[in-house]
Structure 1
Amino acid sequence: MKTQKVWFITGASRGFGLEIARAALAVGDQVVATVRSQPAQLAAKEHNHPDLYVVQMDVTQENQVQEAVKQSIARFGQVDVLVNNAGFGMITAIEEATDAEVRKQYDTNVFGLLNVTRAILPYLRQQKSGRVINISSLFGYDAVPGWGLYGSTKFAIEGLSKGLALEVAPLGIHVTAVAPGLFSTDFLSAESYTAAKTIIDDYQETVGSMRSGADALHGNQPGDPKKFAAVIIQLANTERPPLHLPIGKDAIAMYQSNAAKMAQEIQAWLPVATSTDHDHRIMASTIA
């Protein structure tokens, strides 16, 4: 018999967050859906589902996060699955982005994720169980011109997930970094991503095509968000979930390409890379 789970999903007003919330409700689970504004609007759109609790929360505001988690525990008694989904993209050459633009990107995608994770973990530790699912990206596997800054936040999520998984495994908590490819969400709509205000002409050849191509790609992405949500439901109910999970053929291809390139580079430089030990320690090891 399936045990009812309580989900805490950030960035649930649309896109992956909304589809995951709907999928969790459809299998009989309870859902806390966080939104930055207009919580009543989302609740009404979902017909005021009795197992849905919509909370207004900005992941960059730690006090709001702590209060939202407390309200959620008061409502449902526990949290079983945390989905760190809130985030946004930014098209820019690395040099073009101002300090303020970089910080805003990291405040949401990385520090916001940390705010929520820190707020939820005490409850998962207390109950000695739980799942943390961090939404990364195929851009967290390799770099693409124009998306390097955004991708770096996803590289950070991959690393944070890996470290966190080691720390909480003895406590019965599982962590997975999920890296979706391109799915037909609102991510590439003009309302969902930003672009740096500064444009440097020298980057036209590399970043320029990304600036002009994002809107054209919107709506033509290969992935189905509903199928993505179904994978997340399966992941939350898997006894031994993976630490890293690329989802989508393009995400798999990005991972495989990057792994192959890294292996080739390391092999080519292997004699140099392994030439740095102290000579006397090599000799002592040889004698022993």
Structure 2
Amino acid sequence: MANWLVTGASSGIGYGIAMAALTAGNRVAVTSRSLAKLQSLTEQYPQQCFPVALELSDDDSIAQAIEKLDDFGPINVLVNNAGHGYRAAVEEGEDERIREIYATNLFGPVKLIRHFLPHMRHQHRGAIINISSIAAVQSGIGSGYYASTKAALE
């Protein structure tokens, strides 16, 4: 049994990864911007599932989540899944939206890696899984910012 942290676990790939880890008997800290969206996971696995509110574009939210995760125990598997897109031509991108997508898709996950990796190294075990996108290799028109955040996370 390992302790997992799965960001963006309220739907999609994150939900699927969290379910697979829980079904396999692991303890899983699941995150979402909304704790209500994690309710079904926590109800299905009340002894194994640890819900944590996390907004990756907000440094205070990251610090609060890390503090709460100290109660969960050492993280053996970090899954950086949370993220979102932003469609805009590069020359038309809005500064605030660009900063936010980089904070969510890249800088937030990097902060989590920097926090949990030293423990993994000390224990000589652990895994970090960064969920990227095919857009990192071949993006569509208007996906330059999204593609670059995912390419940087690889």
- AA of the residue aligned to 2:69: S
CA contact (8 A) 1:40 1:54 kept: no
Task: Say whether residues 1:156 and 2:152 are aligned partners.
Answer: yes
Residues 1-288 of structure 1: pairs in structure 2 closer than 5 A: 4-37=1-34, 39-49=35-45, 50-75=47-72, 77-158=73-154
- Distance change >3 Å, CA 120–CA 62, structure 1 → 2: farther
Q: Give how far 1:44 is off.
A: 4.1
- Give the secondary-structure state (helix, strand or coil) at the position aligned to 1:95: helix
Q: Which runs of 5+ in 2 are unaligned?
A: none
TM-score scaled to structure 1, two decimals? 0.50
- Give the secondary-structure state (helix, strand or coil) at the position aligned to 1:47: helix
Query: Which protein, 1 or 2, shows the higher relative CO under an 8 Å CA cutoff with sep ≥ 6?
Result: 2
Alignment coverage as a number of residue pairs:
153
Larger radius of gyration between Structure 1 and Structure 2 = 1
Q: Give how far 1:70 is off.
A: 3.5
CA contact (8 A) 1:91 1:146 kept: yes
Instruction: Provide the C-alpha distance between the structure 2 equivalents of 1:33 and 1:72, rounded to a whole number of angstroms.
Output: 10
Q: Which runs of 5+ in 1 are unaligned?
A: 159-288
Q: In structure 2, what is the equivalent of residue 209 of structure 1?
A: none
TM-score scaled to structure 2, two decimals? 0.90
Q: Give how far 1:60 is off.
A: 2.1
* % same residue: 39
CA contact (8 A) 2:57 2:100 kept: no
- Give the secondary-structure state (helix, strand or coil) at the position aligned to 2:66: helix
Q: Give how far 1:45 is off.
A: 4.9
Q: Give how far 1:46 is off.
A: 4.4
- AA of the residue aligned to 2:75: V
